[in-house]
Amino acid sequence: MRKIEILLILSILVTGPLQGLNKITICCAGDSLMRPVPLHLREMVRNSKTLFFIEDWSLGSLSTESYQEFFRLHQGRWKKVKPDFILIQLGTNDVTPLLQGKYDLAEFKQNLQTIVKNFKKFQSSQKKPPRILIASVPIFYGGTAAKEKNRLVRKSINPAIKKVARKENLSVVDNYSILKKKPGWYEIDRAHPNPRGEIALARNWLNGIKKELRKRHKYK
């Protein structure tokens, strides 16, 4: 999904002159849960005095294992973007292979850590490594199979994500709690959020970004 630079620049012309405003590039990496987030984020920041560029680095059905190949295919172009923030939403598509024993939790953590370390090699517009935010895996709904998946997510996958975050000094965005007890925010497949759930996730990401920006006194 390309940048909507014209829309963002038009919004700035309405809210004030370009000179003196911050420019922040946010790149959204992950699986199908991340796919709608750039669209909603763009709408949420449309009238901000901060100039945001938001890129989509996600693809449906990717796990922490398959995302590494996706990364290798695109890293040359992605590095040129010079992201200030990289948002990572992965783990949902690791649930089934973990339950089937195709790989174990240690391999999941290694896969995730490899992705994080690769992104850390990028350089932001400030000539520093980008700030990386990583999300917990949201809940599943629907029957016995969902209970088994949620047990793995709650007891193994999300704790593993938090361990990687602590080790790599990343901020964690709690998307599990946002969709917990919200079955009405899901599509009929009970795995993907509907538009209401998508907006809730995007807003949660934005809150995490704002928190980081306030530390640097850059968000208005």
Quick: pLDDT tens for 106-130. 999 999 999 999 999 999 999 999 9
Label residue 217 by pLDDT band (50, 70, 90): low
List, for residues 17-34, the tens digit of each pLDDT value.
Answer: 323 337 999 999 999 999
Share of the chain above pLDDT 90, in %: 82
Domain ranges of the chain: 5-215
Average pLDDT, the chain: 90
Our measurement of the distance from residue 75's CA atom to the centroid of its chain's CA atoms, rounded to an integer in Å, reads 17
Overall average pLDDT of the 174-194 stretch: 97
Most distant pair of Cα atoms in the chain: their distance: 56
Cα 23 to Cα 8: distance, rounded to the nearest angstrom: 11
C-alpha distances in angstroms, 146 versus 29, 35, 104, 193? 25, 22, 19, 15
Under CATH, which architecture does the 5-215 domain have? 3-Layer(aba) Sandwich (3.40)
Q: What is the pLDDT of residue 11?
A: 39
